[in-house]
Amino acid sequence: MNEHMHIAFIGGGVMTGAFVESLLAGHVAQAEDIIVSSRTMATLDALRERHHVRVTLSNREAAAFGSLVVLAVKPQNLHHVFADMKGQMRPEQVLLSIVAGADIARLREGMGHDRVVRCMPNTPAQVGAGVSVWTASPGVSDADCEVVRAVLAAVGSEVHVDEERYIDMATAVSGTGPAYVFLFIEAFVDAAVHLGFQREVARDLVLETMEGSLKLARSSHKHPAELKNLVTSPGGTSAEALYELEKGGFRTAISKAIWAAYQRTLTLKG
Ligand SMILES: NC(=O)c1ccc[n+]([C@@H]2O[C@H](COP(=O)([O-])OP(=O)(O)OC[C@H]3O[C@@H](n4cnc5c(N)ncnc54)[C@H](OP(=O)(O)O)[C@@H]3O)[C@@H](O)[C@H]2O)c1
């Protein structure tokens, strides 16, 4: 990345920790090029001790340092940041927001700044396997977009979308997605324990099955229904299990859950 690129993170929580770790591990940025501001010194001390990055309790000081300013506070804390930072960014700086539900119009108004990128990452970013969906306001140049792409690629894969409405949809799909997957894992492991497996063994069986199925789904050109049909013999165990899942409304529950998450995302905008 550009050797003069400085990155400021506003908010020193889980997502910032994931970004900082991956940016350093991937040599996308050096520790001295990164500054983090947060509300409490303990949060900052932990980041400084672990990553040797610059830290400050002043959001303004952090923002002044960064050419890219990453906004990573919870949606409910956004108004404090706006009150603190409105009009503080220089025109050439780029704001990259990962705040769920905060749309570009609100970010521009709240920060008094035009060059805004809105992104929805997800928590597997903590192990460099996240997926970040992002879009940029018209004021963001192609060169700025390349910097954003490099930063997001450090924590996994990145998907650019032209229209902001896809960010709201991605919030319900990939942003919230790990919660659905972890619930499924939990239920699957509990069911295996119910059968009589030790929990450790159950966990291994479930995770290996999920990982193997993912690999197969990725490498195969077959539709998931076709892959499912291949393990479903007439009158067999899969057919019996799938019947119970469908009877229990599994497919509809997933569809309704993702729709509900999307509706909730739209209400967060207000
Ligand atoms: N985690 C996810 O699954 C996920 C996925 C996609 C997007 N996001 C979005 O990413 C953002 C950050 O999420 P997170 O999980 O990293 O949250 P988090 O762990 O709660 O971190 C938020 C941090 O913001 C700091 N903070 C609060 N008010 C502040 C202020 N006025 N000025 C500066 N810092 C302030 C907190 O400070 P102290 O610790 O110093 O008190 C905290 O460390 C959220 O908007 C969320 O919607 C999260």
Q: What is the pLDDT of residue 270?
A: 59
From the CB of 130, is ligand 1 less than 6 Å away?
no
* Cβ of residue 56 lying under 6 Å from some atom of ligand 1: no
Residues 6+ apart with CB under 8 A from 74: 11, 13, 99
Distance 75 CA to ligand 1 centre (A): 8
Question: Measured from the CB, is residue 81 less than 6 Å from ligand 1?
Answer: yes
Q: How confident is the model at residue 4 (pLDDT cuts 50, 70, 90)?
A: low
- pLDDT-derived band at 46 (thresholds 50, 70, 90) equals very high
pLDDT tens sequence across 130-140: 999 999 999 89
Instruction: Domain 177-268: give its CATH superfamily.
Output: ProC C-terminal domain-like (1.10.3730.10)
Asked if 20 and 13 count as a contact pair (C-beta separation under 8 A), the reply is: no
How would residue 5 be classed by pLDDT, with cut points 50, 70 and 90? confident
CATH architecture under which domain 7-170 falls: 3-Layer(aba) Sandwich (3.40)
> Ligand 1 within 6 A of 171 CB?
no
Does pLDDT of 3 surpass 90?
Answer: no
Residue 166: how many other CB atoms lie within 10 Å: 17
Q: What confidence score (pLDDT) does residue 139 get?
A: 87
Each domain of the chain, given as residue ranges in start order, spans 7-170, 177-268
Q: What residue type is assigned to position 210 of the chain?
A: M
Return the amino acid letter for 52. Answer: H
Question: Do residues 74 and 93 touch, judged by C-beta distance below 8 A?
Answer: no
Task: Say yes or no: CB of residue 11 within 6 Å of ligand 1.
Answer: yes
Q: Is 177-268 the same fold as 7-170?
A: no
pLDDT at residue number 229: 96
**Ligand 1 centroid – CA 225 distance (Å):** 38
- Kindly indicate the confidence band of residue 268, based on its pLDDT and cuts at 50, 70 and 90: confident
| DSSP structure class, residue 252 | H
Provide DSSP, 165-218. Answer: HHHHHHIIIIITHHHHHHHHHHHHHHHHHHHT--HHHHHHHHHHHHHHHHHHHH
pLDDT at residue 101, as a whole number: 87
Q: What count of other Cβ atoms lies within 10 Å of the Cβ of residue 121?
A: 24
Ligand 1 contacts CB of residue 69 (under 6 A): no
Query: Taking residues 81-105, what's their average pLDDT?
Result: 95
Instruction: Share the mean pLDDT of the chain.
Output: 95
| Model pTM score | 0.92
Ligand 1 atom nearest to CA at 171: 6
By percentage, how much of the chain surpasses pLDDT 90? 94
The pLDDT of residue 140: 95
More confident residue, 26 or 69: 69
Nearest residue (by CA) to ligand 1, atom 17, is: 13
